[in-house]
Amino acid sequence: MTSVFNAVIRSMRPPFLLLSISVVCLGGALAWYAGADWSNGLFSLIMLGALAAHASVNLLNEAHDARSGLDNLTQRTAFSGGSGSLQNTPQALKWVEALGYIMLGVVISIGLFFIYLRGWGLLPLGLLGILVVLSYTPKLTRSPWLCLVAPGLGFGPLMVMGTYFVMMGEYSWLAFGVSLIPFFLVNNLLLLNQFPDLEADRQVGRRNLLISAGLQRGALVFRWFLLAAFLTLLLLVALEYLPLWALLGGLSLILAVPLYFKVSQYFDDLDQLQPALKWNVMLNLFMPLLLALGLWLAGS
């Protein structure tokens, strides 16, 4: 039973849940900067909902990939190829799947409370979020462009704007603009992680951007998205929608610059590309956090 429990916990991929914390902090800091009547309890509940949504996606993804046999084919790395927990403990599959749906139930319950608290304006984001959670692995991974943008949609506009709406009681174009930063970054996070899994994904019928357009074009899209994240930040500051403090997010260029050139040069060499996977994860965590810190300082 201990091995099953450990497999279930590992299938949640706990280290990767840090991404949800980073993005929700960004949405909360933006609300703080905009003058929200801050509530620690409300923010904690938002964080719980985001973590439950992220855990649900991870659990259902692990279960689906175990059933399809994908994880038996992947070249697993520290940042891609699944946790491997269900390959070592196949009897945990039903528990992983069940917990995935339980976590989704937690998300829906919290979402209904937020709708009661703030109104029906949150419903479209909530419905779209549930759709992404349920359809990402079985459906969206078979459509190159939907597979490309769905991760960023979930962690960008849905999570950032959802956090902002719950804290402020309204949407804003600024929240949408800021949400584009994690949109581009998280799209890139999943895109780069698909490079080591290319042949395995192809064998189980997936059709992501790399399979449909090739590694070179995939690397080109990666570079465009990376540039777009920083250009979005620069534009929002230049137009004075964000304060100068927001440029703290630009400190993450120390990761982005070597990442850009590594992917440019070694997109077809998995051994050389390994450091880029780590830098990409760190960029996704630190850029939103640094931007959140800048907004918090500006709003204090």
Name all domains of the chain by residue range, CATH numbers in brackets: 2-299 (1.10.600)
pLDDT, one tens digit per residue, over 90-124 is 888 999 999 999 999 999 999 999 999 999 999 99
- 271-277: average pLDDT: 94
Own/partner long-range contacts of 169-175 (Cβ < 8 Å, ≥24 apart) = 169/118, 169/119, 170/121, 171/121, 172/34, 174/30, 174/34, 174/236, 174/241, 174/242, 175/27, 175/30
The pLDDT mean for the chain works out to: 93
Instruction: Find out whether 248 and 289 touch, Cβ atoms under 8 Å.
Output: no
Mean pLDDT confidence for 259-269: 95
pLDDT band (50, 70, 90) for residue 185: very high
Task: Report residue 81's pLDDT band, with 50, 70 and 90 as the boundaries.
Answer: low
pLDDT at 77 over 80: no
The string of pLDDT tens digits covering residues 138-153 is 888 899 999 999 999 9
* Per-residue pLDDT reduced to its tens digit, 25-34: 999 999 999 9
Q: What single letter denotes the amino acid at residue 180?
A: L
Percentage of the residues of the chain whose pLDDT score is greater than 90: 80
Residue 221 has pLDDT above 80, yes or no: yes
pLDDT at 213 exceeding the cut of 70: yes
